[in-house]
Amino acid sequence: MNLRDTASNLSEWTDHFVTRFSARRGWLRPLLIEAYRSYGTPQKFYIKGRLVADRGIVAATADDSAWRNFRSMVRRFNSREVADADLLAELPDGSQHLVTTDDEGYFTLIIEPQALPAPTNFVWYPIPVRVQRLPRAFTMPKEPIAAQAAVLVPPPGAEFGIISDLDDTVFETRATNVFKMLGRVLFSNAQSKQPFAGVAEFYRQLQLGRTGRPDNPFFYVSSSPWNLYDVLDQFLGLHQIPPGPLLLRDLGLGRVEAEIPSGIGGSAAIHFAHKLHEIGDVLDTYPGLPFVLCGDSGQEDARIYREIVRRYPGRIRAIYIRDVQVPERAALVTPIIEELGREQVPMLLVPDYAAAAAHARTVGLVA
């Protein structure tokens, strides 16, 4: 066991001790299930969420002060998660499935439905999830601890799927500058964040495609931690950006989810591995569906998408990379554009979403 694993295990043990001690003393806030948007097919559902104590975060407004936003953000990261609890999920076919939360309170279910009725909200299936058993030191409340997950199943009429980054692709975080990025994350909220001009309209056009029906599914893959899920999900809704599963990252110190190519190290390696893994899972889930990829030049999106093209030949219709106006980052994207051009996969470094929309119309992605 290396030093990083030891630190991770010590951090988890300390968290469990404090959480259970607080539960015995009656100091812990009520428990709740955070059920995340996920995805699947008529043959397989993927469900993910987390069991935590209520953090006491009040609803955000556009007028909230930087200090109030900071306090809310600290509470998001100072979570009290509940490990070794049994949760029960009920599928639309009536079947029930048991899952146990892991060391950080997360639960993941991969289920094969037997008979799938029509979704209640176009492409979304509601999945009720409730707590069936809590570990020692916790007392089951009189009112059930329950939530409703939502699983996206693309309709047969989907022309393509869209996989998008969030940071510096949909809204500004200045990820190329760690201090500016921390300022944007810690002192803002879903109400105060603003999307880039034209991104919401362009994404809605992609969702409609050529048919004019909102059949084309969206997936958002980001290296942001799950602690920010509520902020990001609320942000998409506020700005009428097509909803989709948010595939975020666990902050666990020792967790890396995919191979890391040589020459990439540090936080960039974790970013690369996480996104490559999640995008690959989406493409594997829908082998007959082509995809459009959206990202930015600020981090590793162009190189990640190049690797996706290599691993999934013939599956990528177009790639749009938003230019973050950092010349050295743009210079890294140019040779990748030329390389993919030889493989007949258009990758564009666009100054804005008007340019992306114009190209999408030219190649027949949108009406």
pLDDT confidence of residue 210: 95
In the chain, % of residues over pLDDT 90: 58
367 is a domain residue: no
Distance from CA of residue 333 to its chain's centroid?
A: 24
**SS3 state at 157:** coil
Residue 239 lies in a domain: yes
**Last residue in a domain, options 96, 124, 151:** 151
Same domain, residue pair 250 and 338: yes
**Span 281-318, pLDDT tens digits:** 999 999 999 999 999 998 899 999 999 999 999 999 99
**217 and 141 assigned to the same domain:** no
**Does the pLDDT at position 8 exceed 90?**
no
Q: Which domain holds residue 179?
A: 161-362
Give the residue from 151, 182, 214 where a domain finishes: 151
H helical segments located in the chain: 3-25, 66-77, 178-186, 199-208, 229-238, 266-285, 301-311, 327-342, 353-362
Domains of the chain: total: 2
Residue 180 lies in a domain: yes
pLDDT of residue 73: 84
- Return mean pLDDT, the chain: 86
139 & 165 share domain: no
What would the pLDDT profile of 189-235 be if each residue is shown by its tens digit? Answer: 788 888 999 999 999 999 999 999 999 999 999 989 999 999 999 99
Please report where in the chains the tokens 């939502």 appear, as a residue: 150
Does 146 lie in the same domain as 208? no
Q: Are residues 92 and 185 in the same domain?
A: no
136 shares a domain with 247: no
| 233-263 pLDDT tens trace | 999 999 999 999 999 998 754 444 445 555 5
Lowest mean pLDDT among 100-109, 114-123, 358-367: 114-123
* pLDDT for residue 278 is more than 80: yes
* CATH number of domain containing 110: 2.60.40.10
| pLDDT above 60: residue 264 | no
330 and 240 fall within a common domain: yes
DSSP letter assigned to residue 227: G
Same domain, 127 and 175: no
**Comparing 92-96, 144-148, 232-236, which segment has the lowest mean pLDDT?**
92-96
Answer yes or no: is pLDDT of 44 > 70. Answer: yes
Q: Is 198 part of a structural domain of the chain?
A: yes
Q: Domain check: are 126 and 171 in the same one?
A: no
Residue 236 lies in a domain: yes
Same domain, 319 and 195: yes
Whether residue 156 lies inside any domain: the answer is no
Main-chain phi, psi angles of 146, to 5 degrees: -145, 160
Which of these three, 151, 185, 203, is where a domain ends?
151
Here the tokens at position 340 are 């993919």
Percent of the chain with pLDDT over 70: 84
Helix/strand/coil for 164:
strand
Q: Note whether 311 and 244 are same-domain residues.
A: yes
Q: Which CATH number does the domain housing residue 224 bear?
A: 3.40.50
Q: State both tokens at 14.
A: 């300390």
CA–CA gap between residue 14 and residue 8 (Å, rounded)? 10
Residue 231 resides in a domain: yes
* Whether residue 300 is found in the same domain as residue 174: yes
* Tokens 């162009």, located at residue: 302
CA dihedral 12, 17, 23, 26 (to 10 degrees): -130
pLDDT score recorded for residue 92: 82
Highest mean pLDDT among 6-10, 12-16, 328-332: 328-332
Residue 6 clears pLDDT 50, i.e. is over it: no
Stated pTM of the model: 0.88
Is position 261 within any domain? yes
Strands 291-296 and 161-164 turn out to be parallel
Q: Which residues contact 234 (CB under 8 A, 6 or more apart)?
A: 60, 190
